[in-house]
Every structure is written in structure tokens, then in C-alpha cells.
Amino acid sequence: MASVCVAYFLWLLGGWFGLHHFYLKRDKQALVWWCLPGGYFGLGWVRDLWRIPEYVREANLESGWLVQQQEKMRVSESPPWKMARWGGMLVVGNMFGMLPAMAVPNKEELGLDLSLVGTLLTPLGCGLGIWLVGNIGRWQGNISRPLLGCYLTLPAYLYGMNVISWTTIIGAYCFKREWKGMGKPSKPWYVRLLVLALCGSLYLSMWGSYLYFNAEVVHNGDKIKLRDAVGNFVQSPAVQEFWRNLKALYHHMLINGFWSTWSQLVDSLDPFGEKNALKALELEKGATQEEIRSRYRELTKQFHPDKVQGNQEEKEAAHEKFVQIQQAYEKLSDLKRKRAKANKKVQQQEAEPSQEKVEL
């Protein structure tokens, strides 16, 4: 027997990936939630918040729910049209239709033009997405009708037109909804899980193919393959420096322990902004207040906007640097003042016991 509490717990724990739907034996809905996290990026997940009790009653085939369902089936020969279901068909159909064409490697990668394969698979993906959403819950329908409707638009693709939205709309219109039979025995959980894993792997493989072969990064009009951009990112000085720091922290932890490493990590993150301020004033750690003041005066004269000669862009850069110098000076001066005040207070507290001993 399914439990409302368990369903809500799974909804909270892994609802974006359809965990609660798998628990309630709504495998097709679980797959949709997994492919489009949370049913179109959280919208379906939020809707499940008030739908879960009804799903649990259906999973348990409660007597009251059975009576209501039988009455619905008696009143109407087919399930009533639902806007949410129609929207789901269009969204999932579009996604499944676009993905195969996106995943097919281009001619430059393989030396073989496979664009026709992607074209032929587009209506198939649309039809499968429509059928998948149309068979969730108490609905069911044959896949042949939406597939036929989707493939009616194939000539448009062969002529180079992109009409995927119309493909999905026509396919969804052709889908014939029917009532699903009640009380059908479900497959063992491990078989259901295997089917979902295979479908999910196929979906992920298409995304992987797209990201590796076809995805590009565009910057200032220049294009580069995503895989090359990731490789350059990993080899960039910033990332290499990050890994060196991470390894240094790990070795420090092995020698000095966790808390010493934690203290060093917090210090490296510069929570008070002292390191950044010293960098802005081009000073080393431990600089005196006199050194800070002297360097501040020198840099403000150098970068004062009124004294910088050049175009508007150079003047704006000087103004930004000038503001940065002022903020750094104020931050360092404030830190120095607070530390001096704290040290003075500590010295007074240490002097008080000595005075008491003298009086005794």
C-alpha cells in the first residue's frame, strides 16, 4: 500500500527526478520528470504538491476512488481534455523532436553527412513525446496516430523548413485519448527500473552526443566547440592555480589537522577584504598605517580623473581605479583602527590583575 507521507518525502527528496512517481508506479511520468527536471523545470513538481493524495488513492485503488472513476467513465467515453496535459504533450514532443537532430554529428566531425538521419528522426521523437505524456495516469492511446500526424510534416523538413512546432501540434491533435483499464498488474520494480534506466541512458546519450560534437561557445563573434572550450578552461591558469591550492590544503590537513586547515582556508578567502585592499594599494601584508597613507596619496595623485589625459574610456578606467583605491584605503584604515582598539582593551585587561596584586 502506498503511503501519502512516503510519497511526500520522496517528492521532497528527489521529486525533480520523478522519485515519488516511480514509487506510485507512474513510470512514464517519472521519466518525463527526469528528462525535464521537475516536469519542465519545477512546474510539474510544484503541481504535484496538491496532486499527490489523488495519486496515492489511485495507486492503492481505494474503493472511493474506484467509484468516482467508474462514474467518470460512465459519463464520458473518453477522458476530458486537459490544458496541462496538452501543454505537456507540446513541451515533451518538441524536446524529443529536436534532440535527435541536435545529437547527430555534423559532416565535419565524421566526414559523412548524416543530416537526413536527424530529419527522419525528428517526427519520430515528436510522436514518442506526445505518446509518452498521453499515456500518463488514467489516459492511454495508440502511438500510431500521433506518429502518422507527425510524419505528415516530413516533406517540409526535406525542403529545409523547420516546422517542429507544427509537427508537435498536429501529432498531439491526432492523439486519441482513451480511458486506461483499472487494476492491471504492474511489472516487478526491478524490471520497471531497468526500463527507466535504458530510456534515461538513451536520452542522456543524445545529449552527450550533442554536447560533444555540436555544442559551441560564442564569444565576441568567435565560435569554438564546447569540448575544446572545456579543455581550455581546465588548462587555464586560474583552474590550475585552484587545483594547486586544493592540493596544498589537503597536504596541510594531513600534517596539521582539519581545524588548522579550515582556519587557513578561511584566511585565504579574505573574508575581511584585507588582501584585496592591500593588492589595490600594491602593499604587502603587515604594512603600517603610515605606509598605507603614503601609498594612498601617491596613487590618488596618479589616478585622479582630472589629471588623466586620454579618451573617455581611459578616463572612466582611471575613475574606477581611483574609487577602488579610496575604498581600499578606508577598509585598511578601519581594520587598523579596530585592531588597535582591541589590542588596547586586551592590554588594559591584562594590567588590571597586576594592579590588584600591588594593592594587596
DSSP string, 218-246: EETTEEEEHHHHHHHHHTSHHHHHHHHHH
How far does the chain reach from its first CA to its final CA, in angstroms? 80
Q: Which of 64, 136, 59, 122 is nearest to 94 (CA)?
A: 122
Backbone angles phi, psi at 216, to 5 degrees: -130, 155
Q: Residue 127: its pLDDT value, please?
A: 96
pLDDT grade for 354, boundaries at 50, 70 and 90 = low
Q: Residue 359: its pLDDT value, please?
A: 57
Sign of the alpha-carbon dihedral angle for 166, 167, 173, 178: negative
Percent of the chain with pLDDT over 90: 47
C-alpha cell at 102: 541536435
Mean pLDDT of the chain: 88
* Domains of the chain and any CATH numbers: 1-60 (no CATH), 273-351 (1.10.287.110)
Q: Per-residue pLDDT for 288 more than 90?
A: no
pLDDT grade for 11, boundaries at 50, 70 and 90 = very high
Q: Is 292 exposed, middle or buried (0-12, 13-18, 19+ CB in 10 A)?
A: buried
Give the helix, strand, coil percentages of the chain, each rounded to 5: 75, 5, 20
Scored b (16 or more CB within 10 A) or e, 190-215 reads: eeeeeebeebeeebeebeebbeebbe
Contacts of 90 (CB under 8 A, 6+ apart): 165, 168, 169, 172
Q: Residue 39: its pLDDT value, please?
A: 87
Q: Residue 195: its pLDDT value, please?
A: 95
Q: Residue 280: its pLDDT value, please?
A: 85
Taking the C-alpha atoms of residue 280 and residue 221, their distance in angstroms, rounded to an integer, is 33
pTM value > 0.75: no
> Is the pLDDT higher at 146 or at 300?
146
Query: In which region does residue 152 sit, left (phi positive, over 0), alpha (psi from -120 to 50) or beta (all else)?
Result: alpha
Q: Per-residue pLDDT for 356 more than 60?
A: no
Q: Residue 210: its pLDDT value, please?
A: 94
Beta strand extents in the chain (DSSP E only): 139-140, 178-179, 216-219, 222-225
> Is the pLDDT higher at 239 or at 153?
153
Q: Residue 273: its pLDDT value, please?
A: 82
CA distances 212 to 103, 173, 205, 206, 216, Å, are 9, 35, 10, 10, 9
Q: Per-residue pLDDT for 301 more than 90?
A: no
pLDDT grade for 355, boundaries at 50, 70 and 90 = low
Per residue in 94-147, pLDDT tens? 999 999 999 999 888 888 888 899 899 999 999 999 999 999 999 999 999 999
Name the strand (E) or helix (H) holding 213. none
> Is the pLDDT higher at 357 or at 202?
202
Taking the C-alpha atoms of residue 41 and residue 17, their distance in angstroms, rounded to an integer, is 10
pLDDT grade for 155, boundaries at 50, 70 and 90 = very high
Taking the C-alpha atoms of residue 250 and residue 234, their distance in angstroms, rounded to an integer, is 20
Per residue in 40-86, pLDDT tens? 889 999 999 999 999 999 999 898 999 998 999 999 989 999 999 99
